Amino acid sequence: MAAETLLSSLLGLLLLGLLLPASLTGGVGSLNLEELSEMRYGIEILPLPVMGGQSQSSDVVIVSSKYKQRYECRLPAGAIHFQREREEETPAYQGPGIPELLSPMRDAPCLLKTKDWWTYEFCYGRHIQQYHMEDSEIKGLQAASS
């Protein structure tokens, strides 16, 4: 019985030791085993707590888990270097702009999409309409001109 009480006390102190540093610094300490099992990349979790927002380095990014827990992650130098190389290799687009690319739609038939009760009509450069049909008549017309 005394051994069980001692073991319970030690486990309680261990848990308190894990959670207390985070609560003293304003953070929330928790260990999510489900998230650890879903990891897809090799990571190293440092034993020292990190105050959020202290690092201004370009190799640190803030990420959030699906449970809204925030983490400061330091990216390896190779990842940052690789991203910069890709940005430099991509030439700026020199082709026609969006209006020129869409201009053939001006003379094309309108686009229609019916979803449940509503029909949506898009006529490039002319109008966008939303309506529903009742007894072969347009009802509830809502239009926006361009």
CA dist 70 and 35 (Å) reads 13
Average pLDDT per block of 10 residues along the chain, 146 residues long: 51 47 49 65 73 74 80 73 60 89 93 92 91 85 70
Decide which of 65, 89, 113 is a domain's last residue. 89
Residue 92: predicted pLDDT? 84
CATH number at residue 116: 2.70.130.10
Domain limits at 73? 56-89
Per the domain annotation, does 98 fall within a domain? no
Residue 13: predicted pLDDT? 44
Per the listing, tokens 């486990």 go with: 11
Same domain, 141 and 115: yes
pLDDT in tens, 59-80: 787 888 788 888 788 777 766 6
Residue 57 phi/psi, 5° resolution? -70, 150
Q: Are 29 and 48 in contact (CB under 8 A)?
A: no
Same domain, 110 and 136: yes
Per the domain annotation, does 31 fall within a domain? no
List b or e across 26-42, with b for residues whose CB sees 16 or more CB atoms inside 10 angstroms. Answer: ebeeeeeeeeeeeeeee
Same domain, 110 and 138: yes
Residue 30: predicted pLDDT? 60
CA count, 13 A, side-chain hemisphere, 38: 6
**What is the model's pTM?**
0.36
Per the domain annotation, does 32 fall within a domain? no
Per the domain annotation, does 115 fall within a domain? yes
Domain count, the chain: 2
Residue 105: predicted pLDDT? 93
Contacts of 145 (CB under 8 A, 6+ apart): 126, 127
